[in-house]
Amino acid sequence: MKAVILAAGKSTRTYPLTLSIPKVLLPIANKPLLQHNLENLEGSVDEAILIVGYKREMIEERFGSNFKGIKLTYAEQKDQLGTDHAVLPAEGHVKGRFIVMNGDDIYNRSNIKDVIDFNYSLLVEKVKDPGRFGVWVTEDNKVKDFAEKPKEFISDLANCGLYVLDDRIFDEIKKLKKSERGEYEINEAINAFAKYQDVNCVVSNNRWLSVGYPWSLLEVNEKLLGEMKDSDIQGKVEPNATIKGNVWVGKETVIRNGAYIEGPVIIGDNCSIGPNCYIRAFTSIGSNCRVGNAVEIKNCIIMDNTKIGHLSYFGDSIVGSNVNIGGGTIVANIRHDNKNVKTYVNGNLTDTGRKKFGTVIGDNVKTGMNTSIYPGRKIWPEKQTSPCQVVDKDLK
């Protein structure tokens, strides 16, 4: 069995994070998205064909030609024209049955094993708001039809982007025309395939973790950290530091006196944490990071090589790599009126659905001391703020 993993997209919805790196390399629980899926494919496939495009060299450099016994083959999608078009580069690399999966969602081992149990299948999840999703209409648990974001209820089985197909799907892909969105949709090819071949719908066990927006990273990070069952301290914890709950600390990391860490928390290698800081639950801190005196971090993803200066506060936020946060930088993560935080995505003001959401900061940003950042505001890579600057709109 082989797996085809779609990892070519640019992902403008996750800007500014994906201006610097492909989406499949964004870290959750201190592992790239793609790594989570490769780990969960272990034992089920012997080769994964990675469909790459945007910044493909970064993916190839990170993963090479083999991952824990899974051979990695790269096929390029030169033009990103939709999921259907993305599968075509795999033609010639697969024969017979194979798995297709989105590279920027996370599927657990049981999801993968459940779909493989059928000759041909796809993963669905029951949702309360099917109008936001592509949905499958079924009969006796088999595919009968597909609709993209239906205005009227026809099914509550949302498409999860995990399929078991065979090489006949390439013929169906080549017959299709562009959708109303101007893309080639793999679900339309599967719908045609299902007219002559039974395709089973497998209902997810609530472990399909979709990463559509920056705040989705926080939600999935919280889910994965919440499953930690123990602590693993490989670094040094000074005598007057406190660790409570499940906490992982990497090699050569020092937790300094007065630091209070409230798990679940993951901290990478070669970090300096504290003194006198407060790291709260559901926080992931990458490797080679520095967290200064009297810093508080809550429910955040902090990427590699980032420094957060003294007297700063970050809540419900994502901070990229090689960022330098000046002392006294404060992120507001809740509105005064207690309404959901909204943020701009591709020029449209979008409701995050969250009461608490702070900032998204791209790679190589520097903030001046005492910078203040409004809820939902983003800072693009390479940007700088002045001392005491108030970031009340996206800084591009």
Is 51:77 a contact under the CB 8 Å cutoff? yes
Measured distance CA(131)–CA(154) in Å, rounded = 10
The one-letter amino acid at 350: T
My answer on whether omega of the bond before 16 falls inside 30° of 0, hence cis, is: yes
Strands 260-262 and 278-279, how do they pair?
parallel
CA atoms within 13 A on the CB side of 206: 2
228: CB partners within 8 A, 6+ apart? 246, 248, 263, 264, 266
Catalytic residue (choose from 36, 93, 310, 336): 310
User: Taking the alpha carbons of 11, 16, 21, 23 in that order, is the dihedral positive or negative?
Assistant: negative
Active site residue 93: no
| DSSP-assigned states of every residue in 286-335 | -SS-EE-TT-EEES-EE-TT-EE-TT-EEES-EE-TT-EEPTT-EE--B-
Q: Is the separation of the CB atoms in 58 and 10 below 8 Å?
A: no
Instruction: Report CA-CA distances (Å) from 58 to 35, 143, 379.
Output: 14, 37, 22
What residue type is 245 in one-letter code? G
Q: Confirm if 176 and 185 have CB atoms less than 8 A apart.
A: yes
Strand 390-391's sheet: what is its strand order? 242-244, 260-262, 278-279, 296-298, 313-315, 330-331, 372-373, 390-391
**Residues forming beta bridges with residue 267, ordered by sequence position:** 249, 285
User: Alpha carbon of 211 to those of 172, 329, 380, 386: distances in Å?
Assistant: 28, 28, 20, 32
Secondary structure element (H or E) that encloses residue 244, with its range: strand 242-244
Rounded to whole angstroms, the Cα distance separating 366 from 369 reads 10
Question: Residue 111: helix, strand or coil by DSSP?
Answer: helix
Task: Give the active site residues.
Answer: 310
